[in-house]
Structure 1
């Protein structure tokens, strides 16, 4: 079975962000780092991410000698380097001499020097300066034995509203709308509130975006920000591609918020096409007081599966913390066992690395209390360092996992543009639309039943899956409708829900009711959607059980579908809420209401059984345990039994497996302590 190695290393990477530029006046610290790296089985480091002022302290004056020594020392220890381009934070001289590089916020206020990630992506000066620096790095280190890949900038984010960006936005719109202002005015529904434009120069970015009533403008601004960020990134990597064409490039993606959902500011489905390797920075708020550890682990698994599926290959965990962070509302330390468990969850879902921010805690400024492998005491005996050492030793023994995949028969569709459009929609409820969380709710039953899932975009190939689920896909263009139709016609099973197929790619409502093609496929026509106050109550009866309705209930007219569930109350009591329709060789399900989690569990359990979809390993266990695996050879899986519950759990293994470390055969009951993970090898017959 062919493996997809995302780096030139055929083993799992372990290490993290290393910032020796902060410690050049402390040679004893740099010496100690090399010893501790070896102790922790660390083999890869991102170097130079914020080192611009050290590399170029004055314009045109370069100091690379310190970086030469760092890379030489790491290479001598057998370590690899993800060499960073330093555009994420500018030196002060650049901001002072070239103020156009400073970002302008949505209220048209120029930002001052300070912080990071606050540069203008359109600025010709900033593009010139970053490209020059990157060329110098590429030419100097192209043949260095430590160079493994390029870490391009850091956590791209944000937008700029300066005059340069306004002009670039107008140019982008001209291309998008074929230089026809009438086409743009129609797409943005210009006559509403007299927002018709008579000249391109009248168009500017929404300010602030949350207050703009022109939803087409809002949506296109989001698209432009993604385009312009990617365009800046392409400018950055041009010399890297030219000088080091065989060295892969990545940039680190992120997640959003304490409730851990995909990062919203950029469309990563577009950005993924531009990188060789998907990598992301994961900082779950473990041990918080608003959800269980298992609930949070489910969300982590969802984002892992989304970012892995973007390129259908392993990803890199480029940043994580072995302890706590410094930016959560409450920065709680990881409990004993959690670091090993959370690291193995990443590997189980497709990570080929466990990397940290950062290797050594900064002595000053905003990240001096951010978790790190090496604390201010420099003590290798402290708990955090020992936890990292344990992970390093485990990863060293899992080399055969590198490059392996997670075959899945179930796909969930996640769409960034849909989320932008739905968030701006002035309808339904401001507080409960919650599109990313809704998709995660449909992911939960599969995670709980240990069924591998690909979280894909609407552009992916549906045909390889037994089941495709498109929850709350409010924005659905005709191309997506056609792909759904073809998929079901050819024998696929599709599931969609309330508030789906409402608008086209311009956020314009479909006329004449629900699109005719969707009515044909699903055998229903949504008539209206009732939005609930928190205290409103209703229920749906499905398969002789009753489930509570929350937030939304769509009233349906049948056009051929079979009724599986009905509403119990209100003026639509007794009408259909859940339906199934045969179309072509396949089936299409419509779930009309947002229902409690037990409905999703029961609904998808029946679908899993009907479609004969199997977990990676036949097991039974309670909630809080997750069993995930990667296929390392034809029929052979490395499986991770993980207990995210706060209490001891029993897993019953209904097949013979081999303990990956002891090589002993195991079957029957296996006990897992809280936060314990056990790794086994399983040959699927």
Structure 2
């Protein structure tokens, strides 16, 4: 539990006093008290201020602010300031500058602008972490370290090219193994010397294809470059982390992630983080289930351990195409949505609005008007008071689920680097279809990696498992044999971890457990569709459902056919199968269905496994989760609708932690409101 030093749900966010004159500081601290702010993230982008040249370090401003915050009872999430290098560094050491996808050397500017394999960047970033750790290791305000900020971006410079070759040597051992893994016999690309390998970008193997998606001639090298760049940035994090841990071994270390951010394999990163933290920025029209899935994805990175909500906006973003205000009550509701899914902090970007540059219109607790008499400040203060009242009740409680959805970053990369069969296939969207169907029916689901312990679950869903990594098929077979239900879909079991096709028929290593052979894959135009025709009495559904995008032409090899295609030359071929394997079942959905099919079918599978939703029935726009701690159960019921809805609990009810009221039977929940019901034992 990260909250030991301050045993409550931390409340606060990014604060940049270095951008303000000192008279503003005391006024900010006054308003922090009014808002219930008890944690401030400092020093995120202060590298240039802290180090004006190679040899000079100046932390006096930070000393003063750390002391002031501590005196006011505010703890500090202390960042290392290394997310943007100083201008002098770019001028004196050009190796620190990135080369972009088109082969252009960047100038100084922006942020996340450092080459991760630059010796200069690594030297000075680690030195900065060392200086900060030495200076503040005993400071009573220090709660947690925040390394850099929102790592992102790839580089294609000569330093990266050389480091990539070394990375390949470590991964494969020999050029022969590289040639085999990348199938370089295709197009005469065989390599005979390591320095013949160059990064895949717009000057070599890649280009911007349809809809801006990266296209490549060789999926193998592009996939490995994704792995390498993710590892390179991770190495930068680990170097700073090691410097901090050497001097402050008991202070947790994190860096803020960004949900389903494609560039970095967060499942690998999380192994090196004491706690996962992430920045949540949905749009006004983002589906609530998508935001919920992102929270669950972040929670799943460390085996269900509570995470930090490091950033959200109190009101509006500044960088989306349409930066809508959060309507009254929405900030509070979305904050509790994070808590419902496992957050033990509620923090904002930012505490005071900047007056210039690109984030001056990004929302803040303290607006440009500079006082507390605003709608946003009032809502923040009310939430701060509620979180103070909750105390440590929910801290370190866990979200329990008997359903898992498998999500894998490398599979995501490989799926969307594929040269077919359709540009319409978007991995995250396909995963969300299944999550949303469960969400709408009131079921919780963990979002886990391919190396998760599947035995903890009754149902495991692996949508679009295009890449089957070593050991995964065997884990699935063991899970199903022991009585579990496994579901996978179209475009699964096609390739191995190097994006080389598994010969012998799709779905490759999953063919045995699924009991099918997929002979061909038809890609439908956006204007086309097919139908899933359910066989009478097969799965408790009737009639047909629309399907689209992809249609696998499947033959049963022992699996029962429970639905067939209704159109085209493959009318009558299997569209949904189930294979009894040991004590369990393995399902294959051969085509992408309309939402109604998953919403009708998945709850029936849950019922067969005696998995019940949290409510008797779930009204549209209502979300539920359950957190458990020390034998006590806390049911979150969130109403995202503007109007009140009637909620019928499945159990005897309990006490709402926020109001103290007893909730039982059927009760009305106001619009844009929630309950946290401590259920009766």
- TM-score of the pair, normalised by structure 2: 0.95
CA contact (8 A) 1:7 1:248 kept: no
Match of 2:406 among 399, 405, 413: 413
CA contact (8 A) 2:530 2:567 kept: yes
C-alpha distance in 2, partners of 1:667/1:11? Answer: 27
Distance 1:156 1:60, change over 3 A: same
Cα distance per residue 1:25-67 (max 9 Å; x no partner): x222100111111111111011000011111122222221111
CA contact (8 A) 1:83 1:147 kept: yes
Match of 1:250 among 233, 244, 254: 254
Q: How does 1:164-203 map to 2 (within 5 A)?
A: 164-178=159-173, 180-203=174-197
C-alpha distance in 2, partners of 1:593/1:476? Answer: 19
C-alpha distance in 1, partners of 2:33/2:596? Answer: 48
Counterpart for residue 137 of structure 2? 142
Cα distance per residue 1:56-115 (max 9 Å; x no partner): 122222221111110111111111101110110111111111111111112221111111
* Residue 123 of structure 2 corresponds to residue 123 of structure 1: no
Distance 1:604 1:649, change over 3 A: same
Match of 1:274 among 266, 272, 275: 272
Q: CA deviation at 1:675?
A: 1.5
- Unpaired runs of 5+ residues, structure 1, are 256-261, 289-294
Q: CA deviation at 1:648?
A: 3.0
Secondary structure of 2:227's match?
A: helix
Q: How does 1:585-624 map to 2 (within 5 A)?
A: 585-615=583-613, 617-624=614-621
Secondary structure of 2:76's match?
A: strand
Counterpart for residue 467 of structure 1? 459
C-alpha distance in 2, partners of 1:478/1:235? Answer: 29
C-alpha distance in 1, partners of 2:12/2:452? Answer: 33
Cα distance per residue 1:453-482 (max 9 Å; x no partner): 110000111111111110011011232111
CA contact (8 A) 2:442 2:618 kept: no
Counterpart for residue 633 of structure 2? 637
C-alpha distance in 1, partners of 2:604/2:449? Answer: 25
CA contact (8 A) 2:400 2:626 kept: no
Counterpart for residue 108 of structure 2? 113
Q: CA deviation at 1:637?
A: 1.8
Counterpart for residue 529 of structure 1? 521
C-alpha distance in 2, partners of 1:481/1:164? Answer: 38
Cα distance per residue 1:334-383 (max 9 Å; x no partner): 11111111011000000011111111001111111111110111121100
Q: CA deviation at 1:212?
A: 2.9
Q: CA deviation at 1:211?
A: 4.3
* Residue 46 of structure 2 corresponds to residue 22 of structure 1: no
Cα distance per residue 1:151-205 (max 9 Å; x no partner): 0000001111111110000000111111x21111111111111111111111011
Match of 1:651 among 640, 647, 652: 647
Counterpart for residue 337 of structure 1? 329
Distance 1:477 1:27, change over 3 A: closer
* Residue 152 of structure 2 corresponds to residue 161 of structure 1: no
C-alpha distance in 2, partners of 1:486/1:646? Answer: 46
Q: How does 1:400-549 map to 2 (within 5 A)?
A: 400-430=393-423, 432-514=424-506, 517-542=509-534, 543-549=541-547
Counterpart for residue 239 of structure 2? 235
Match of 1:666 among 644, 663, 667: 663
Counterpart for residue 309 of structure 2? 317
C-alpha distance in 1, partners of 2:218/2:656? Answer: 59
* Residue 631 of structure 2 corresponds to residue 627 of structure 1: no
C-alpha distance in 2, partners of 1:662/1:383? Answer: 22
CA contact (8 A) 2:441 2:599 kept: no
- Segment of structure 1 superposing worse, 674-683 or 362-371: 674-683
Counterpart for residue 370 of structure 1? 362
C-alpha distance in 1, partners of 2:129/2:649? Answer: 52
Counterpart for residue 300 of structure 1? 291
C-alpha distance in 2, partners of 1:516/1:304? Answer: 32
Distance 1:544 1:450, change over 3 A: closer
C-alpha distance in 2, partners of 1:316/1:619? Answer: 31
- Segment of structure 1 superposing worse, 400-409 or 206-215: 206-215
CA contact (8 A) 1:166 1:205 kept: yes
- Segment of structure 1 superposing worse, 536-545 or 567-576: 536-545
* Residue 569 of structure 2 corresponds to residue 576 of structure 1: no
C-alpha distance in 2, partners of 1:348/1:60? Answer: 47
- Unpaired runs of 5+ residues, structure 2, are 207-213, 535-540
Secondary structure of 2:580's match?
A: strand
- Segment of structure 1 superposing worse, 51-60 or 419-428: 51-60
Counterpart for residue 58 of structure 1? 53
Q: CA deviation at 1:8?
A: 4.1
Secondary structure of 2:338's match?
A: helix
Q: CA deviation at 1:520?
A: 2.1
Counterpart for residue 210 of structure 2? none
C-alpha distance in 2, partners of 1:319/1:671? Answer: 32
Secondary structure of 1:671's match?
A: strand
Counterpart for residue 676 of structure 1? 673
* Residue 82 of structure 2 corresponds to residue 87 of structure 1: yes
C-alpha distance in 2, partners of 1:189/1:121? Answer: 28
- TM-score of the pair, normalised by structure 1: 0.95
- Segment of structure 1 superposing worse, 203-212 or 11-20: 203-212
CA contact (8 A) 1:650 1:671 kept: yes
CA contact (8 A) 1:142 1:244 kept: yes
C-alpha distance in 2, partners of 1:190/1:214? Answer: 8
Task: State the superposition RMSD in angstroms.
Answer: 1.4
Q: CA deviation at 1:422?
A: 1.0
Q: CA deviation at 1:516?
A: 6.1
CA contact (8 A) 1:6 1:314 kept: no
